[in-house]
Amino acid sequence: METLQRLQFADLAHLAPELTLVIAAIFFSLLDLMMPNRSNRNVIGWLSLVAIVISALFVIQDIRMLNTVDEATQLNTSIEPIQLLGQSYVIDDFANLFKLLLLAGTGLIILMSMGRVKDEEIQHKGEFYYLFLPALVGAMMMASSGDLITLFIGLELLSITSYVMVGIRKKHLGANEGAFKYAVQGGIASAIVLYGMSFLYGISGSTNISEINQALSGSYEDYKAIIYLAAFLLIAGFGFKIAAAPFHTWAPDVYEGSASPVTAFLAVVSKAAALALTFRIMYSVFALGPFLQSDIHKDIFLGLSVVAGVAMIVGNAVALRQRSMKRLLAYSGIANAGYLLVPISTQYGIVHYSNFTEFLFYLIAYMFMNIGIIAVYMMVSESTQNEEISAFAGLYYRAPLTAVAAVILILSLAGLPVTGGFFGKLYILLGTLQVHKYWLAAVLIGTSVVSFYYYFGIIRQMFMRSTYAESEFRSTVPAQIAVWICVAATVAMGLIPHVVIAWIEKLISLQNDFFIR
């Protein structure tokens, strides 16, 4: 009871981003029940966007509070992170940056879906919009968790809500199949994660991440086998959540069966939350103190490197044979999960201390280019009633501006200049070379070159095929706004990447983040 009493009324201000979304989700669910059957449920979508904006403002306020400017030196100084409930919930810059990313991604996904949700596909449109909010709360909890229990609650809140969102198209057989596979395999992955956590608790006698590291650092020689088992169980469970090969088998069917906005949510928001979780656990538990000089540390991060390499190879190789656009995006996402695991697996040290910057920069670029291209695909597939890559045929002749936007986003996905995707991959590559992981750098370069083939296949359809050249292209203003926001961000990150990098490095401090004390 003593731990519970630490949460005072004044501390609720620090939970304002999450509480805003929880209150909004409850209110919108009641509003949806009270609205007449024929009422326009888009109002719930717009209200959900308002709730996300308010939540983001609270996160920005936390960032400003944690980072003050010394008037005498005009230098930015970071204060200690805010710890609630006995360090089980931590408000630090690591969490705040991820929360902004998650909020921005969900906001763009809801925006692109406005006016595109069809009654014959989704009978309960209100639920479709407000279900994003509890899933987002779970993702934000994962970013702020300082305790295994809090972390697992956030993971399950995100996962269970995602299962419902995948199966919300009740009359669609692909959605039913995808939801079943996702729920079964997701439950198995959660059990694996929980099993790995149980070993950490057994060794340390605590579920607090900081205390686990201290306990393991003092006795890691006595528990080598159990630490190895716990670490690799967690890597396997997290690998499922981020859809990294060989734990990726659910992704193609789930992406294909889901509604396009839900596909975007799984590809970006859910993946980003799982990556934040992976970064937090791997660094806070296995990469501090005596672990840095131990064989355990080297082997665990080598295991991460192997998963990254396998994901890059499998994702890009299998994507070459895809004809369905959503399945191609699923395998592209698997490959990108590998790219994003590279800076996590390379670790920081004297010669390489910018891996978090490399990781977050590419994750931001990944968010914009994926949401943007899925928004374009949603408009194209609905106009042609075709869900394959061939739906892009003749897009330049039907909607030239949208085709130009799609080309920019695809170039960023392929990692070509001057786009955010190019600089993101370049920074990751340079970081990998700094730590002399040449084999991993070679895999990154080789698989990126392979990806040109299937990405440029989409561009070839737009400019060199004319199957749907005469058909009407149907779009909505919100979807177009979402696309062009993504394009603008992608181009900006390619033209002024140093601004984003400087902002990240200004906020993140290894002394205050990752529980280094």
Greater confidence (98 vs 288) lies with 98
Residue 21 CA to residue 24 CA, distance in Å, equals: 5
Q: Is 122 helix (H, G, I), strand (E, B) or coil?
A: coil
Residues with Cβ < 8 Å from 467, sequence gap 6 or more? 390, 393, 394
Which pLDDT belongs to residue 296? 80
Which pLDDT belongs to residue 298? 83
Residue 401 CA to residue 361 CA, distance in Å, equals: 27
Which amino acid, 297?
Answer: H
Average pLDDT value for residue range 294-303: 83
Instruction: List the domain boundaries for the chain.
Output: 4-507
Determine contact, residues 85/17, Cβ cutoff 8 Å: no
> For the whole model, what pTM was predicted?
0.92
pLDDT(516) > 50: no
Which amino acid, 313?
Answer: I
pLDDT band at 8 (very low <50, low <70, confident <90, very high): low
Phi–psi pair at 91, nearest 5 degrees: -105, 100
**Highest mean pLDDT (candidates 6-10, 122-126, 257-261):** 257-261
- pLDDT digits over 148-157, tens only? 999 999 999 9
- pLDDT digits over 472-483, tens only? 778 889 999 999
Ranges 35-39, 78-82, 349-353, 464-468: which has the least confidence: 349-353
pLDDT band at 468 (very low <50, low <70, confident <90, very high): low
> What's the half-sphere exposure (Cβ side, CA atoms, 13 Å) at 447?
29
Which pLDDT belongs to residue 470? 63
| 89, β-bridge pairs | 84, 145
Which amino acid, 300?
Answer: I
- pLDDT digits over 92-144, tens only? 888 899 999 999 999 999 999 887 766 556 667 778 888 999 999 999 999 98
Which pLDDT belongs to residue 274? 93
- pLDDT digits over 311-338, tens only? 999 999 999 998 999 999 999 999 999 9
Tell me the two tokens of residue 190.
Answer: 């959660």
Which pLDDT belongs to residue 223? 82
N-term to C-term CA, the chain:
26
pLDDT(3) > 50: no
pLDDT band at 240 (very low <50, low <70, confident <90, very high): very high
Residue 108 CA to residue 481 CA, distance in Å, equals: 9
pLDDT(509) > 70: no
- pLDDT digits over 371-422, tens only? 999 999 999 988 888 888 888 888 888 889 999 999 999 999 999 988 999 9
Ranges 130-144, 194-208, 282-296, 300-314: which has the least confidence: 282-296
Determine contact, residues 242/275, Cβ cutoff 8 Å: yes
Which pLDDT belongs to residue 372? 95
Determine contact, residues 169/122, Cβ cutoff 8 Å: yes
Which pLDDT belongs to residue 121? 62
As separate numbers, helices (DSSP H) first and strands (DSSP E) second, the chain gives 21, 4
**Highest mean pLDDT (candidates 131-135, 143-147, 280-284):** 131-135
Own/partner pairs for 318-323, CB < 8 Å, 24+ apart? 319/451, 319/454, 320/450, 320/453, 320/454, 322/389, 322/454, 323/388, 323/389, 323/390
Residue carrying the six token digits 């609630």? 84
Tell me the two tokens of residue 78.
Answer: 């970071």
Determine contact, residues 3/89, Cβ cutoff 8 Å: no
Residue carrying the six token digits 């419902």? 164
pLDDT(79) > 70: no
Residue 373 CA to residue 252 CA, distance in Å, equals: 17
